[in-house]
Amino acid sequence: MKCVRCKKKAKILLKRHNAAFCNDCFLYYYANQVNRNIRRHKMFDRNDKILVVVSGGKDSMALWDVLAKEGYNVVAMYINLGIGEYSNRSQEVVERFAQQKGLELIVKDIKKEYGLDIYVLAKTLKRSTCSVCGSIKRYLFNKVAYDGGFSVVATGHNLDDEAATLLGNLLSWEEGYLARQSPVLEKTHPKLVKKVKPLYTLTERENLYYVLLNRIEFLHEECPHATGARSILYKEVLNRLEEESPGTKHRFISGFLEKGRKHFQDVAEKLELKECKTCGQVTTTEECSFCRFIKVCNQQER
Ligand code: FES
Ligand code: ZN
């Protein structure tokens, strides 16, 4: 097997591209894919101030590294969600990386700063920990970016994540989510910051290879609440399809973005946006869920 670019011995085969690369050419391919996604979807340019959300996992660590190396103006944000040892270990990983590379990192701790506890919230509100956690993260991504004058928030969602989410949303015809599934979410309110996913065409395996080649430390374990989640099943099903027919995931996503998504746009436009009466952040209700969460946790403590 020879590298398609330099003809030296190849180290990794990417079946869906019908291409194999040596390590150096893989890194070239990887950065090229990222830059192409950024340009194609007008995500940002080198003048933008970019907030990269990092969890300590391979995808977000790869994103942070590649954007910094490509000369983008990035600051990372890590949110400690109070998920026991998992949170402590992941915080250490991102802090070490920031220090080694001399990169700027913002750390938010939901317990220390806001008194929030996702377990108390999940129990009191009868919601899953993942859904409470998701609301908190979305709120903080936007708030920290808006308050800090960032023009865009970048997350490490990869092709496997996007394809699994799309499959899940299609299986239950979640029109609202389908309308919003995109590598770029433009700002629809002056207080909302644009959201982008520069790795949406790269697979988990490619991100893993990237961090291993660059000797980037990352947390191998997944969030303990992720196991058993629906999305894992969808990923398994898609992996099976991909094995039989390489390129399935990519065709699924790109076909949806080109031909499917537009049919759901009127659902997205119907949502009326307001400003939260307590914190002023954008919400669809009188008071945003984050402010309600703070009240719930305060009451429980008393
Ligand atoms: Fe949010 Fe696991 S990362 S519940
Ligand atoms: Zn609020």
Return the ligand 1 atom nearest residue 137 CA.
1
- Going by pLDDT thresholds of 50, 70 and 90, the confidence category of residue 266 is confident
Mean pLDDT of 147-159: 97
Mean pLDDT of 140-162: 97
Evaluate whether residue 158 is within a structural domain: yes
Strands 194-196 and 152-154: parallel
Nearest listed ligand to the Cα of residue 137 = 1
- Going by pLDDT thresholds of 50, 70 and 90, the confidence category of residue 205 is very high
Q: Is residue 226 scored above 80 in pLDDT? A: no
Evaluate whether residue 297 is within a structural domain: no
Please tell me if the CB atom of residue 233 comes closer than 6 angstroms to any atom of ligand 1.
no
Q: Is residue 129 scored above 80 in pLDDT? A: yes
Q: Is residue 300 scored above 90 in pLDDT? A: no
Cα three-residue angle 96-97-99, rounded to 5 degrees: 65
pLDDT digits (tens, 9 = 90+) for 62-109: 999 999 999 999 999 999 999 999 999 999 999 999 999 999 999 999
| Percent of the chain predicted with pLDDT > 70 | 98
Its ipTM equals 0.93
Q: Which position has the higher pLDDT, 187 or 302?
A: 187
Evaluate whether residue 236 is within a structural domain: yes
Q: 48 and 71 in contact (C-beta within 8 Å)?
A: no
**Tell me, what's the pLDDT at 272?**
85
Q: Is residue 187 scored above 70 in pLDDT? A: yes
Strand, helix or coil at 33?
helix
Please tell me if the CB atom of residue 223 comes closer than 6 angstroms to any atom of ligand 1.
yes
Element (H, E) at 89: helix 84-101
Evaluate whether residue 294 is within a structural domain: no
Evaluate whether residue 7 is within a structural domain: no
Of 178, 194, 169, the residue nearest 267 (C-alpha): 178
Please tell me if the CB atom of residue 225 comes closer than 6 angstroms to any atom of ligand 1.
yes
- Going by pLDDT thresholds of 50, 70 and 90, the confidence category of residue 231 is confident
Number of neighbouring beta carbons within 10 Å of residue 175: 15
- Going by pLDDT thresholds of 50, 70 and 90, the confidence category of residue 276 is very high
Nearest C-alpha to atom 4 of ligand 1 is from which residue? 130
Tokens found for residue 118: 């996702």
Question: Rounded to the nearest whole angstrom, what is the distance from the C-alpha of residue 128 to the centroid of ligand 1?
Answer: 10
Please tell me if the CB atom of residue 79 comes closer than 6 angstroms to any atom of ligand 1.
no
Evaluate whether residue 113 is within a structural domain: yes
Question: Rounded to the nearest whole angstrom, what is the distance from the C-alpha of residue 288 to the centroid of ligand 1?
Answer: 20
Indicate the top mutation candidate among 59, 225, 227, 230 to test ligand 1's pocket, ranked by most ligand atoms within 8 A of CB: 225
Question: Rounded to the nearest whole angstrom, what is the distance from the C-alpha of residue 33 to the centroid of ligand 2?
Answer: 37
Evaluate whether residue 98 is within a structural domain: yes
Please tell me if the CB atom of residue 130 comes closer than 6 angstroms to any atom of ligand 1.
yes
Return the ligand 1 atom nearest residue 55 CA.
3
**Tell me, what's the pLDDT at 33?**
97
Q: 250 and 243 in contact (C-beta within 8 Å)?
A: no
- Going by pLDDT thresholds of 50, 70 and 90, the confidence category of residue 265 is confident
**Tell me, what's the pLDDT at 151?**
96
Owner of token pair 């307590």: 278
Q: Is residue 116 scored above 70 in pLDDT? A: yes
- Going by pLDDT thresholds of 50, 70 and 90, the confidence category of residue 227 is low
pLDDT digits (tens, 9 = 90+) for 36-52: 999 999 999 999 999 99
**Tell me, what's the pLDDT at 228?**
61
Q: 153 and 145 in contact (C-beta within 8 Å)?
A: yes
Question: Rounded to the nearest whole angstrom, what is the distance from the C-alpha of residue 284 to the centroid of ligand 2?
Answer: 11
Q: How many domains does the chain have?
A: 1
Question: Rounded to the nearest whole angstrom, what is the distance from the C-alpha of residue 294 to the centroid of ligand 2?
Answer: 9
- Going by pLDDT thresholds of 50, 70 and 90, the confidence category of residue 268 is low
Mean pLDDT of 250-267: 93
- CATH number at 74 reads 3.40.50.620
- Going by pLDDT thresholds of 50, 70 and 90, the confidence category of residue 223 is confident
Evaluate whether residue 268 is within a structural domain: no
Which range of residues forms the domain containing residue 236?
40-245
Nearest listed ligand to the Cα of residue 78 = 1
